Amino acid sequence: DFMIIPIFIIFDETLSYRFNMSSGCPHGWSYFNHRCFVYVPRSMSWGQAERNCKSMGGHLASVHSNNEYRHIQKLTSDHDYIETWIGGTYEFEEKVWLWSDGSSFHYTHWCPGEPSGGNQNCLQINYTPSKCWDDLWCDLRRPSVCAKKKSTLLG
């Protein structure tokens, strides 16, 4: 029993270093509505950005409300609201927009006249001064926002 206490203390310090204990988000990620978000400044294609998010345990961010969109935009505000990838992608065969995390695509914030199609199958935010959504060619390079479920102490 005596040896358990020091091990527990080391374990506890490791967790508090790696996670914001109140939110369950890793260091550097922000908590909002049961999810953790992070801005990735490195410019990548949409596919590279999604793979990068998956390597961190998440996906490119999906958006389900105006409040969530405002939170995601806030993450880009230190970078002059640059055009940024999130997880929307157009599925040709079903002719629908989908989120890369599999969640339902019901909230939208498209710019007027968007999505415009023409093989522009990936979703960028902060387009035009109105900071709305635009469909874009997936191989263009943009920074991105990743999202994942908040962590619990056990995983």
Which of 41, 43, 39, 62 lies closest to 140, judged by CA? 43
- What are 13's two structure tokens? 């310090």
Average pLDDT over residues 51-56: 98
Average pLDDT over residues 37-59: 98
Residue 119 is which amino acid?
Answer: N
| Cβ contacts of 5 within 8 Å, gap of 6 or more | none
Q: 30-149: what fold? A: Mannose-Binding Protein A; Chain A (3.10.100)
In percent, the amount of the chain with pLDDT more than 90 equals: 71
| Cβ contacts of 31 within 8 Å, gap of 6 or more | 20, 23, 24, 25, 37, 150
CA angle 103, 105, 111 (to 5 degrees): 140
CA 62, CA 102: separation in Å to the nearest integer?
9
Residue 5 has pLDDT above 70, yes or no: no
Please state the pTM of the whole predicted model: 0.82
| Residue, of 18 and 138, whose pLDDT is higher | 138
Tens digits of residue pLDDT in 125-137:
999 888 999 999 9
Domain residue ranges in the chain: 30-149
Can you give the pLDDT at residue 81?
84
CA 104, CA 17: separation in Å to the nearest integer?
34
